[in-house]
Amino acid sequence: MQGLNHFEEKHQKIVVVNWVLGNRCNYKCSYCPQELHDSSEDDFYHPEYFPLIQKFSSEIISQIKMRDSEKEVCFLFSGGEITLYVKYFELLEYIKSLGGKVAIVSNGSRPIEFWKNNKNFLDHLALSFHPQYSQIDHFKEIINLLGNHLPIHVNIMMDPQRFDYCKKVAQELATCAHPFSISLQPLLRDLGSTLYDYTSEQLKVLKNYSSSFHENFSLPSKINKKQFSYRGDMMIENFNKENHGEKISAGELIARGKNKWTGMQCNAGLENIIIDLDGEVYRSWCFLQEDHPTKKEGHIGNILEPHFKLPNDSILCKKKYCHCTLDIMCTKKSL
């Protein structure tokens, strides 16, 4: 049997609901498609939608629990820049009141006072370091402020034009006193399947970044085991072959071009649920078909219509590549 599994057993018990709530952002990163930051689809930011968002959140938790009462539900909010959402704290508080876990992906740009208020609401913080805009000292301040309260993961967006600077950022952040983890995130053109033009030296770093720094240096990869994490490294299942059991990150799989599971059964929809900018709900970001002009493959419903039903089965992968890190971090098995 071949496939990909979670390295840590606890991640098998977590369903991640990744909700892209709007495309409002205060940055314009050169590698970010315009539609992800130009505020063209931020209707759901309007307070009048908040009751609908609450209703859908409650319904999705109860459906996941009905499917398997042992599962824990983690809402992973992203954007755009999710911390710009006007009802940000109310939303986090509401999910917590339902018993859900809350994680966000943020560019970290809000002032330190804002981050102080997150201590009681967030279960996990994923910070993206964008080398065009992000400040090392500000990231250090956030890590030092929150590192003892919640698990923090930093993705450094490895812009090939600023690659050496990005490596320096990783080394500087590693001096923070608190436990957190870092990934060097390879960039894909237009969030598709093609890597940016990295040099062979740069690719070498990305393929095995934990051992790519100098001899006595290692990137922080430890989050306190008692702390919550919704996803983490994966494990290659390739029984009777050399790399069976190898621990590997989603970024390393992409950089090595090993992010292909065509013809395997995939747990997208069972382990992950996706909510797109327009409120459409899917199993995964791949939309499950090589060509998806209508985006209907893997479609589950819309947050404005309460009559949706979550799938109960895994699905056959028909894609050539699996390019979203969250899509990668769910179980795949050969038949």
CA angle 155, 314, 19 (to 5 degrees): 40
Between residues 94 and 267, which has the closer beta carbon with respect to ligand SF4?
267
Q: Does 104 bind ligand SF4 (CB under 6 A)?
A: no
User: In this structure, what are the phi and psi dihedrals at residue 26, rounded to the nearest 5 degrees?
Assistant: -90, 0
Size of the site for ligand SF4 (CB under 6 A): 24
Q: What is the closest distance, in whole angstroms, from the C-beta atom of residue 123 to ligand SF4 in the complex?
A: 21
Considering only residues 45, 163, 261, 282, which one is a binding residue for ligand SF4 as defined by CB under 6 A? 261
Binding mask 5-44 for ligand SF4 (x = CB under 6 A): --------------------x-xxx--x---xx-------
Between residues 52 and 235, which has the closer beta carbon with respect to ligand SF4?
235
Taking the alpha carbons at both ends of the chain, their separation in whole angstroms is 8
Q: Does 322 bind ligand SF4 (CB under 6 A)?
A: yes
Binding mask 105-144 for ligand SF4 (x = CB under 6 A): --x----------------------x--------------
Between residues 106 and 118, which has the closer beta carbon with respect to ligand SF4?
106
Question: In the range 56-85, which residues lie near ligand SF4 by CB under 6 A?
Answer: 79-81
Q: Does 196 bind ligand SF4 (CB under 6 A)?
A: no
Round to whole Å and give the CA distance between 135 and 151. 20
Considering only residues 11, 167, 231, 319, which one is a binding residue for ligand SF4 as defined by CB under 6 A? 319
Round to whole Å and give the CA distance between 101 and 15. 10
Q: Does 286 bind ligand SF4 (CB under 6 A)?
A: yes
Considering only residues 15, 91, 277, 317, which one is a binding residue for ligand SF4 as defined by CB under 6 A? 317
Asked if residue 252 lies in contact with residue 219, where contact means CB atoms within 8 angstroms, the answer is no
Q: Where are the beta strands (DSSP E) in 143-204?
A: 152-157, 181-185
287 Cβ neighbours under 8 A, 6+ residues apart: 295, 296, 297, 298
Round to whole Å and give the CA distance between 129 and 185. 10
161 Cβ neighbours under 8 A, 6+ residues apart: none
Round to whole Å and give the CA distance between 56 and 311. 16
Between residues 23 and 118, which has the closer beta carbon with respect to ligand SF4?
23
Round to whole Å and give the CA distance between 17 and 298. 15
Residues that bind ligand SF4 (CB under 6 A): 25, 27-29, 32, 36-37, 79-81, 107, 130, 261, 266, 268, 284, 286, 288, 315, 317, 319, 322, 327, 332
